[in-house]
Amino acid sequence: MSTITDTTTTTDTTTTTDTTTDTNDATTTNGVASDTFVVVLSRGLDDERATVAWTLANAGIASGQEVTVFLVSSGVDLARRGAVDRVQMNPNDPSMKDLVDKFLANGGKVWACPPCAALRGYDEDSFIDGVEIVGAGPLHDLLKAGASTITF
């Protein structure tokens, strides 16, 4: 394993980023794998872009990335028990249930925004297995550490 420290100096600040590379592991920046991918999903059951978001999240996992889907606004409805069981936005795409189930089965993380869940009367028991109610702090930790991010 090798460690590379890149220090950039400006007039008022010094930024240090520690990058570690191991031939068997992904490169990490400040402790987060550079292959970390975050999908922020605000679209619900009435918007085809929700299918696109889950498709990209699954593609990220298939390519070896660690993927977290952060559900906000009406996106939290997608994780409610039974909500996606009969949803097929586009006849050419897999069903929403198949996309969500595949994502979770392959190790994807799903976080639901606490205020968004509370507004709808949801708690941990309202969601399918594997969904956590997680605030912005852990999301920002991933972002600050360099996770690639896409928003729908």
**Domain holding 120: CATH number?**
3.40.1260.10
Q: Could you give the number of structural domains in the chain?
A: 2
| pLDDT for the residue numbered 90 | 87
Query: Same domain, yes or no, for 49 and 6?
Result: no
Q: Are residues 61 and 71 in the same domain?
A: yes
Pairing of strands 32-33, 28-29: antiparallel
For residues 145 and 30, the answer to whether their CB atoms sit within 8 Å is yes
| Residue 10 sits in the same domain as residue 72 | no
- Cβ proximity of 83 and 36 under 8 Å: no
Q: Say whether both 129 and 65 belong to one domain.
A: yes
Boundaries of domain holding 73: 31-151
Pairing of strands 131-133, 32-33: unpaired
Tell me how far apart the alpha carbons of residues 40 and 13 are, in angstroms, rounded to a whole number: 31
pLDDT digits over 75-112, tens only?
Answer: 999 999 999 999 988 889 999 999 999 999 999 999 99
pTM: 0.78
> Do both 54 and 43 map to the same domain?
yes
